[in-house]
Structure 1
Amino acid sequence: MSWNDIEEIITEVKPIFDAASDAICIQNMQGEVVYSNPYYEKMIKRSNTELVEDEQYIYKETCKTGKIVIYHDISEVNRLKRELDRLNQKLRKVQVKYSFKDIIGKNKELLKVINTAKIAAMTPATIMIRGESGTGKEIFANAIHNNSPRRTEKFIKINCSSLPEELLESELFGYKEGAFTGARRGGKRGLFQEADRGTLFLDEIGDISSKMQVKLLRVLQEKEVMPVGSTETIAVDVRIICATNKPLEEMIAEGSFREDLYYRLNVFPLFIPPLRERKEDIGLIAEYLLNQYNEFYNRKISEIEPSAIDILQQRAWYGNVRELENVLSRALINMDENEVIMTAEDIDAALRGETIRPLKNAGQEKEVKPRLPMNLKEAVELAERQCIEDAISRHNGDKNKAAGDLGIPLRTLYYRCKKLGI
């Protein structure tokens, strides 16, 4: 190709290339740059630019005569990925905000669990917290860490059911640079390393795959991790607390959960009783929650009537405290702003799912809309939470059947429950 041919190409593409946000140049077959756009001129002056190159050869008939080279500057993309990783790690380093005094109740079985947890907290033993969804397993995990010799170190949590197997592996054990497509430069520390000398809370441990069970067992046995893509191990000193609502003993019999891993995790078991077995605690929890909601919703509810408590105590509460939170929140939102006492009527309406009801003041016949959440997003979440909790309650806590009723995959149901705090 003659210089005139190249010059003709440059003339045609120059207006487009000059306006591009990528660095572009045209080279002859000797590798000499015969044209470059303004961004290319800026780019070659930088020393820390991270680039991805894409090239397209120029042909005259069947012969290569030059090439167009486009350099994509991915420095900002990589910077944002690093920042996202940093923020994700920061979010997992949960500030431990609960202690044993935050566990509300006077039920004898609950008090026994609390006393046992206090004893376990002072040991390095691995603890498995068992209980139905919504019973407060994460609060117990927080309290145990906060009452342990590791209280000044990190408390990091991860929901094992919320991530696919490959991502869960890299999150827990970290990875080496170049371990897989998309692996960030310099690799990444896993949560076991992040929690070194502290506590790692593995929620929904019963949902991990057989492959992950083997790898987790090795870490617990050897007290060392091997990042993905690496051949070297890293020693870790981590206190493990795990939680599940799954029947692990049945899963062992079925072959879906390893017996050896079960014994490694179940060194110190804690069983949190469901709310329906702690009916004497419902009034105490309701009063505690209303005090919190007063601040959140800017209300002044000072009392919940005994007859309202009676209604609450008659319910099975398969969603446990989370379901109780939902009902009380719905009842409060639906009350008149000047009311200060929550009545049996308020609770009954909330349990039926009513969102509009008559005024209580005598002589007034019109209906009044409740004071809605602050924005549309909260209103949608409230409706979604109610729908999910009703489905779970209808099926006595069976999330498989609830997911079928709702027309969503079981994994999606678990994700939405976690997202909505159910």
Structure 2
Amino acid sequence: MEKKVKLTSKERSSSRGLEMAVQQLKALRLIFENIHDGACVTDAEGVITHFNRPYGRFLGVDPQAQIGRHITEVVENTRMHIVARTGKAEMNESQSIKGQNMLVQRIPIKENGRVVAVYGQVIFKDVKDVGKLAQKLSELESRVRLYQKELNSLRSTRYTFESIVGSSEPMTRLKSEALKAASTNLAVLIAGESGTGKELFAQSIHNASSRRDKPFIRLNCAAIPKDLLESELFGYDKGAFTGAKTAGKPGKFELAHTGSIFLDEIGDLPLEMQPKLLRALEEKEFERVGGNRMISSDFRLLAASNQNLEEMVAKGTFRSDLYYRLNVVPLHIPPLRERGRDVLLLADHILQQIVDGTPGREVTFTPAAEELLVRHNWPGNVRELNNVIERTLATCEGDRITPADLPFYLHRNQLAVSPEQHSLLKDVVAKAEKSAIVDALKIAEYNKVKAAEILGIHRTLLYKKISRYGISLIPG
């Protein structure tokens, strides 16, 4: 007969503790195996310690056979071993597994501040919904990249009303009108010749508005090929056309949500695109190219054109309904020739901006040079003035810019040529040539070398022509 062994109270307590531990371990294993999603655990070195059956079924492998293998040998594109190294959790990340975009979690498990394991979970329940979520995530990432690009561009050319140089009566009145427009959400149409600073005013209006901290999105309608303009404005969905990004791409209107969109050279918008733009402006809704989902965007429209849109409406090359939708607040920037001595303020501003990049250099205009700048009609406006200042500084050696330092065409435009009606062509040419040489000598203060440079001829040829025409070299 077998003799029963009596256990002490301490031994009984230890036995109960062991049974509870075993039961708890079984429960944890049961829970782990019944997680519907794929789950696995690695140690701090990336070696698999646990691998549940659902994950094995999804990958088509034996779960138990994966224990002891490195995670990179089992799961493609995994980052479990990287999380083990960084100790930073990666939540709701997109990962391609077996050709599908899956949503994954990678969570470091720490003890006393040190990573001892990493828990990974792959959510493949309702794969279609997860795929949509992953696609949405990819779209958001694409949008963030575009926002960052626009933000970097905006920071490099951030204009405000303080950036607008000019104290003439037309400019003072214009700035006052633009400032009033900035306090509204109305559409603004900025008209003006090329080079007058239409984008400068558009940015200034945006930065003085309640949307100043929101995106400022720009699009030059003349710079985008006709076939791509619709996708640039409204974006496109996956597979919309050959070469389209797999995740699609948001358009300018979508990116301008809560901010402003500036459409430059709006007069170059193709006629067939105008109804689509009108609808987007009126409804604040649109569809991406190749898409079937309406997208809403709260944007403020700023547009600009160097063409006469009223004449285009009359000719039928610009829709009247779109014109009236754009022209809610009209602003007209006067050309530089109508701004009087603003030319000198701008010239000095441009000069100082360039010179500031050269430490120790100070350059000013002589009164005669200033007068020459004021008298020129500036068909290219501020852009032309900027070009002239840059060219002059590149060749000017002193600290004073004289008329002789400025481009010769500025002088030539001041010459009043009135040949006699019955003069022979040869006489007309000779008279004009002599007059040009005399003017160049005066500008160069009778320095023949500099006069030859102004005329663009060799000094030997200049000497011959001075002799031929009997030109006096004595000022007077």
The equivalent position to 1:260 in structure 2, one of 321, 337, 351, is: 321
Shift of 1:216: 0.4
Shift of 1:345: 1.6
Q: Distance in 1 between matches of 2:445 and 2:148?
A: 54
Tell me which residue corresponds to 2:365: 304
CA contact (8 A) 1:134 1:322 kept: yes
The equivalent position to 1:92 in structure 2, one of 139, 144, 150, is: 150
Shift of 1:91: 3.5
1:101 equivalenced with 2:162 (yes/no):
yes
- Name the aligned partner's letter for residue 346 of structure 1: D
CA contact (8 A) 1:331 1:350 kept: no
Q: Distance in 2 between matches of 1:289 and 1:283?
A: 10
Shift of 1:207: 0.2
CA contact (8 A) 1:213 1:258 kept: yes
1:245 equivalenced with 2:306 (yes/no):
yes
CA contact (8 A) 1:275 1:320 kept: yes
Q: 1:363 and 1:211, CA in 2 relative to 1: closer, same or farther beyond 3 A?
A: closer
Q: 1:364 and 1:257, CA in 2 relative to 1: closer, same or farther beyond 3 A?
A: closer
Task: Trace 1:333-412 onto structure 2 (pairs within 5 A).
Answer: 333-336=394-397, 339-349=398-408, 351=410
- Name the aligned partner's letter for residue 254 of structure 1: K
CA contact (8 A) 1:170 1:227 kept: yes
Shift of 1:46: 4.9
CA contact (8 A) 1:173 1:225 kept: yes
Shift of 1:352: 6.9
- Name the aligned partner's letter for residue 267 of structure 2: G
Q: 1:351 and 1:333, CA in 2 relative to 1: closer, same or farther beyond 3 A?
A: farther
Tell me which residue corresponds to 1:203: 264
Q: Distance in 2 between matches of 1:363 and 1:116?
A: 50
Shift of 1:343: 1.4
Q: 1:287 and 1:177, CA in 2 relative to 1: closer, same or farther beyond 3 A?
A: same
Tell me which residue corresponds to 1:291: 352
Tell me which residue corresponds to 2:286: 225
* Secondary structure of residue in 2 paired with 1:225: strand
Q: 1:247 and 1:191, CA in 2 relative to 1: closer, same or farther beyond 3 A?
A: same
Tell me which residue corresponds to 2:418: none
CA contact (8 A) 2:147 2:215 kept: no
CA contact (8 A) 1:193 1:236 kept: yes
RMSD of Structure 2 on Structure 1 (CA): 3.3
Q: 1:243 and 1:184, CA in 2 relative to 1: closer, same or farther beyond 3 A?
A: same
- Name the aligned partner's letter for residue 144 of structure 1: I
1:182 equivalenced with 2:235 (yes/no):
no
Q: 1:121 and 1:362, CA in 2 relative to 1: closer, same or farther beyond 3 A?
A: closer
User: Quick one: percent identity of the two aligned structures?
Assistant: 42
Tell me which residue corresponds to 2:117: none
Shift of 1:279: 2.0
Instruction: Compute the TM-score of the two structures, normalised by the length of structure 2.
Output: 0.56
Q: Distance in 1 between matches of 2:191 and 2:98?
A: 48
Instruction: Compute the TM-score of the two structures, normalised by the length of structure 1.
Output: 0.63
Q: 1:366 and 1:160, CA in 2 relative to 1: closer, same or farther beyond 3 A?
A: same
Tell me which residue corresponds to 1:147: 208
CA contact (8 A) 2:336 2:343 kept: yes
Tell me which residue corresponds to 1:329: 390
- Name the aligned partner's letter for residue 109 of structure 1: P
Which blocks of at least 5 consecutive residues in structure 2 are unaligned?
1-71, 78-95, 100-139, 413-439, 454-476
Shift of 1:109: 1.0
Q: 1:175 and 1:302, CA in 2 relative to 1: closer, same or farther beyond 3 A?
A: same
Shift of 1:165: 2.1
Shift of 1:302: 3.5
Q: Distance in 2 between matches of 1:155 and 1:322?
A: 23
Q: Distance in 1 between matches of 2:183 and 2:143?
A: 32
Q: Distance in 2 between matches of 1:314 and 1:124?
A: 40
Q: Distance in 2 between matches of 1:309 and 1:117?
A: 30
CA contact (8 A) 2:191 2:332 kept: yes
Q: 1:361 and 1:352, CA in 2 relative to 1: closer, same or farther beyond 3 A?
A: closer
Q: Distance in 1 between matches of 2:195 and 2:183?
A: 25
Q: 1:297 and 1:232, CA in 2 relative to 1: closer, same or farther beyond 3 A?
A: same
Which blocks of at least 5 consecutive residues in structure 1 are unaligned?
1-41, 52-81, 371-422
Shift of 1:89: 5.2
Tell me which residue corresponds to 2:338: 277
Greater Cα shift, 145-154 or 302-311? 302-311
Q: Distance in 1 between matches of 2:391 and 2:306?
A: 26
Tell me which residue corresponds to 2:227: 166
Tell me which residue corresponds to 2:192: 131
The equivalent position to 1:110 in structure 2, one of 168, 171, 177, is: 171
- Name the aligned partner's letter for residue 148 of structure 1: S
Relative contact order, higher structure (CA 8 A, sep 6+): 1
CA contact (8 A) 2:76 2:97 kept: yes
After superposition, give the CA deviation of every residue in 1:38-74 in whole Å (9 maximum; x if it has no partner). Answer: xxxx9x99564999xxxxxxxxxxxxxxxxxxxxxxx
1:193 equivalenced with 2:254 (yes/no):
yes
Give the greater-gyration-radius structure (CA): 2
Shift of 1:157: 0.7
The equivalent position to 2:181 in structure 1, one of 120, 123, 127, is: 120
Greater Cα shift, 257-266 or 344-353? 344-353
* Secondary structure of residue in 2 paired with 1:311: helix
- Name the aligned partner's letter for residue 209 of structure 1: P
CA contact (8 A) 2:168 2:339 kept: yes
Shift of 1:347: 1.8
